[in-house]
Amino acid sequence: MTELTASLSALADPTRREIIAHLANGEATVSQLVDQFDLTQPTISSHLKVLEGAGLIIRTRVAQTRPCRLNPAGLKTISDWLKDYERFWQGTLDHFAEHAERHPPKQKGTTDDR
CA distances from 68 to 20, 26, 43, 58, 73 (A): 10, 9, 15, 6, 15
CATH T-level assignment (fold) for domain 3-102: Arc Repressor Mutant, subunit A (1.10.10)
Q: Which long-range contacts (CB under 8 A, 24 or more apart) does 68-72 make?
A: 68/23, 68/27, 68/28, 68/29, 68/30, 68/33, 69/23, 69/26, 69/27, 70/20, 70/23, 70/24
DSSP state of 113: -
- How many Cβ atoms sit within 10 Å of the Cβ of residue 7? 21
Q: For residue 111, what pLDDT is reported? A: 59
Q: How far apart are CA 19 and CA 104, in angstroms?
A: 42
The mean predicted confidence, pLDDT, of the chain is 86
User: What confidence tens digit (pLDDT) does each residue in 52-103 have?
Assistant: 999 999 998 888 888 999 999 999 989 988 887 877 766 666 666 666 677 7
